[in-house]
Amino acid sequence: MTSQTVLADAIDAVYDLLAADVTLNAIAGLKVFDGPAITDRAREVEVWVGATGLDDEGISASITSVVVGFDDERDEALDIFCAIWAIGGSTNMRTRRRKVADAYDAIAAAVLAWNPTTLAASATAEISASELRQMQTPDGAAAVQPFTVRIMGYWS
């Protein structure tokens, strides 16, 4: 299996995990996207898998690979770049920030409970990086939390 196939499989797996998570999808007005939202920005909360919408030059995922022996066996860390967006019609930043925090808590719980062994025989997942950004836009207050889902595993 090539590194590109592994990355594509990892993005698919993270999207499937979040799109199916009951706690995350119980948040009113939330939708999970495979990549960035394209047109309809009317939702209160959006989760983008494989995109952040920030100044990241469109990077969806990255892979760090170390060959660990014979037969091309390797340890890999797959980083899937994601973001939570909350944009509202008012200037109330607290509401947007709380929506992002609620979604992030549900995502972090789902990722930590996940067993990504469909990707590799021995794999774990975590949130490896996160930050919170706030801004006022023509559409109202916006909070965005880019985060990285890191999948570490052993591929042969």
Q: Does residue 69 register a pLDDT over 60? A: yes
Residue 12, pLDDT above cutoff 80: yes
Confidence grade of residue 85 (pLDDT, cut at 50, 70, 90): very high
Mean of per-residue pLDDT scores for the chain: 86
Domains of the chain, by residue range, sit at 3-155
pLDDT in tens, 113-122: 998 887 777 8
For residue 39, the model assigns a pLDDT of 63
pLDDT value of residue 110:
96
Average pLDDT over residues 82-105: 92
SS3 labels along the chain: CCHHHHHHHHHHHHHHHHHHCHHHHCCCCEEEEECCCCCCCCCCEEEEECCCCCCCCCCCEEEEEEECCCCCCEEEEEEEEEEEEEECCCCCHHHHHHHHHHHHHHHHHHHHHCCCCCCCCEEEEEEEEECCEEEEECCEEEEEEEEEEEEEEEEC
What tens digit of pLDDT does each residue of 133-150 get?
Answer: 999 988 889 999 999 999
Say if domain 3-155 classifies as CATH 1.10.12: no
Quick one: pLDDT band at residue 155, thresholds 50, 70, 90?
A: low
